[in-house]
Amino acid sequence: MNHGYTRRTTLALGGGTLAAALLSGCGGTATTAGKSNGKPVSGGSLTIGLDAEPTTGFDPQVAQAYNDQQIISQFYEGLLSLDDKGQVQPGLAKSYRQVDATTHRFTLRDGVTFHDGSKLTTDDVIFSLERLMDPAIKSPFTQQYKIKKVTAVDATTVEVKLSAPQPSLYHFLARPWSGAIMSKKWTTARTEDQIKTAENGTGPFKLTKWTKGVSIQLAAHTGYWQKPKPYLSSVTYRLIPDETSRVASLRSGAVQLMAFRDLRLVDDLKKTAGITEANGPLVSSVWINMNTLSGPLADKRVRQAFNLAVDRQALIKTLGGGDSATLGYVIPPQDPYGTTPTSADTVYAQNQAKARELLRAAGQTKVSLELVAPSDPAYGPDISAMELMKAQLAQVGITLNLKLIPFATVVPRVLSSDYSNMIMMTSVLNADPSQYVSLWFAKGSPATKVKDQHLWDQMAAAASESDDSKRVTLYHQLAQYIADQCYLMVPYAKAVRGEAWTDKVGGYRPDATATRLELKSTWLAS
């Protein structure tokens, strides 16, 4: 099966969460609705507080940093799209159908133009999908696709042939980065570096000026196919890396919309008049992977005792404001394939007497374990929670040694299995549920710290199931099995980031990708 390691965590300091994408099914949109309701007004210039500049720039097909994707989502579009609830909708293709297990056909919409005014043709679609599969482009999405051949059936229809069935195809095509349709003429006339600093998509906004270190300015694409959108005539992303400064800029009205990472700000923002705050979707599960191949955690009873010793509700309290859920399973709760967290609470409700009993039965009453975790400031609240967990574990005789290292070195350690007992990472939304489990448990992967044929059989069955409702059930069962075996501890799930905007902003709805797919529907009250 596909190993599909997805970059799922946040980069240090001002870095970005990566590879967030939403699947069909129930989307994880934030719940708070904008206060500015009523009729959309055209015109208006919106200023957004930006925490970090694009990492690799605007080439959509190589962009995997969140910093890049949140801007690219305004420039480019795919054959399919995601609505604010995260469901797959038609995009540049007005209709699409599956011909057989490995053949899909897409009919292009009329009247779609690129920002340079040229018309979208099947040539552009074929070029874009072939470019995605071209190893020379070094796209992180290449190996997620199973595209074999793309051909034009007629002037408006494109046929995509796959080498094998790919249940995740539509989800990848629906994201503005991994499914981006680029102009063949424009792209081939430019060097790789030029494509990274300019753009020519079909999306609602086009780039007018990128002043490095200061701002990125966008203007409405007047030829946008989804009339009368976009309502805003211009959007400015103002770079304000410091979070306190960014919140201050929202309060002063200098920016009207911004995202924040420290969820402890939620309570403060809630009290501020004229500001709407929205908690992001619960897609950041804290994963503590256990080495079941050697050491004390090879014994299932020790792993169970570890889970039972911890009071998850108490851990959540250290995280501050915002919603969090106690036990998520391996797949985050607001992923359409995720398990609702409430039932889990009863599975591993704190029971220290039972934990001690299990340790006695295992003959390990004095256990010492090392937990490798990221030291970066973005993980501050999680590290506080881990410190509390350490105190709770001590009560049953488990000594937890926290080893904090920079996030940039955590990922290589996960991939090379370089840790003795446990390692911690957090998730963001993936395009396909197989990616969450593959990271930790793929058969034959150097990252895998379990040996369980039954698990691998279940993973293979779930990954290749093409019926979506059956697939959901299979992933629930898989997640339950992993929780029962205590291969991976997931103490809680939380939002990756929150968003806040002023009362002047109307029609804005955060989406689970957190890249502001709905900026085209947003307006500014005069």
Partner 1 sequence: MLRYLLIRIARALAVVLCLSAVVFLLAHLIPGDPATLIAGENSTPELRAQITRELGLDQPVWSQYLSWLGHAVRGDLGTSLLDGQSVAAQVSERLPVSLELAVYAAVIAAVWGIPAGIWSAMHQGRAVDRLVNGTAFLGLAFPPFVVGTVMVLLVSRLTPGWPLFSFVPFDQDPLLNLQDLLLPAVALGIPFGATLCRYMRAAVLDVVGQDFMRTAAAKGAGRRRLMLRHALRNALVPVVTAGGLQLGVLVGGTVIVEQVFALPGLGSLIVSSITQHDFTVVQGAVLALGASYVVINLVTDLLYPLIDPRIRTTGARRDG
Give the residues lining the site for partner 1 (CB under 8 A).
Answer: 3-7, 11-15, 52-57, 64, 135, 138, 140, 143-144, 192-193, 196-197, 211-214, 238-242, 244-245, 248-249, 251-255, 405-406, 408-409, 411-412, 415
Nearer to partner 1, 212 or 451 (CB): 212
Nearer to partner 1, 7 or 229 (CB): 7
Q: Tell me the C-alpha distance between 126 and 152, whole Å.
A: 8
Contact 455, 482 (CB under 8 A): yes
Residue corresponding to tokens 């190893």 = 135
Smallest gap from Cβ 52 to partner 1, in A, equals 7
Smallest gap from Cβ 196 to partner 1, in A, equals 5
φ and ψ at residue 357, rounded to 5 degrees: -60, -45
Nearer to partner 1, 34 or 241 (CB): 241
Smallest gap from Cβ 206 to partner 1, in A, equals 19
Q: Tell me the C-alpha distance between 236 and 449, whole Å.
A: 46
Smallest gap from Cβ 215 to partner 1, in A, equals 8
Nearer to partner 1, 198 or 314 (CB): 198
Token pair for residue 323?
A: 């919603």
Token pair for residue 204?
A: 């609602």
Beta bridge partners of 373: 404
Contact 393, 28 (CB under 8 A): no
Nearer to partner 1, 17 or 202 (CB): 17
Nearer to partner 1, 251 or 354 (CB): 251
Smallest gap from Cβ 92 to partner 1, in A, equals 25
Q: Tell me the C-alpha distance between 401 and 416, whole Å.
A: 21
Q: Tell me the C-alpha distance between 396 and 390, whole Å.
A: 10
Smallest gap from Cβ 128 to partner 1, in A, equals 19
Nearer to partner 1, 64 or 291 (CB): 64
The burial class, CB within 10 Å (0-12 / 13-18 / 19+), for 189 is: exposed
Nearer to partner 1, 228 or 412 (CB): 412
Smallest gap from Cβ 81 to partner 1, in A, equals 23
Q: Tell me the C-alpha distance between 426 and 414, whole Å.
A: 12
What's the farthest any 2 CA atoms get from each other in the chain?
A: 73
Residue corresponding to tokens 């919603």 = 323
Smallest gap from Cβ 91 to partner 1, in A, equals 24
- The H or E element containing residue 186 is helix 184-188
Crossing angle for the helix pair 468-485 and 434-441, to the nearest 10 degrees: 30
